[in-house]
Structure 1
């Protein structure tokens, strides 16, 4: 189901709760909403559709990926950039890392670990910031 994009900064500033298998429908809605906005959006976090859970969905080099309870456990090569967000107006400066190692759970809640680089790493960092209540 396509959900409305949340623009409430007080809600977006909350740290997300851990996701559980009961949140699989939230992930499906997150993907539906991301695909609906694909012309202007490459990633979403659950709080952007009004659900305060630690779930992100993003374009991973042409295919969509969902992560439950993602955490960055290693980062390398910082750089400065600018980003926009569907939940906020305008473009803002931010610091990102060219390479990140992420720990997360898949839709079966199996633990996964992978290093991401470049544009995909930047998208993941933005969405994990949402999970942390960090407003870009």
Structure 2
């Protein structure tokens, strides 16, 4: 189900709770909502659709990917950039890393590790910030 985009900064600034297998339907809604906004959005966190669950969905080089309970465990090559967000008006400056290693769970809630670089790494960092209640 395509959900409305949350724009309440108070809601968005709250830290998300860990996702569980009971939240798989939220992941489906997150993917459908992301796909509905693909013209101007490359990633979403569950709080952007009104759910305080730690999960993100993003465009991983042309294929959508969902991560449950993602955590950046390694980062390198910091840089300054400017980002926008579907939940906010305008763009803001922020610090990101060109390469990140992420520990996350897949839809079977098995632990996985993967390294991402460049644009995909930037998207993931933005969405993980959402899970932490960090607004750019």
TM-score above 0.5: yes
Root-mean-square deviation (CA), in Å? 0.2
Could you say which residue in structure 2 is the equivalent of 1:127?
A: 127
Could you say which residue in structure 1 is the equivalent of 2:79?
A: 79
Could you say which residue in structure 2 is the equivalent of 1:109?
A: 109
**Equivalent-residue separation in structure 2 for 1:4 and 1:25 (angstroms):** 16
**Equivalent-residue separation in structure 2 for 1:109 and 1:59 (angstroms):** 20
Could you say which residue in structure 1 is the equivalent of 2:66?
A: 66
Could you say which residue in structure 2 is the equivalent of 1:98?
A: 98
The 4+ residue runs of structure 1 with deviation greater than 6 A are: none
**Equivalent-residue separation in structure 1 for 2:20 and 2:104 (angstroms):** 12
How many angstroms does 1:124 deviate by?
A: 0.1
**Equivalent-residue separation in structure 1 for 2:23 and 2:89 (angstroms):** 28
| SS of residue matched to 1:115 | strand
How many angstroms does 1:76 deviate by?
A: 0.1
Query: Number of aligned pairs?
Result: 136
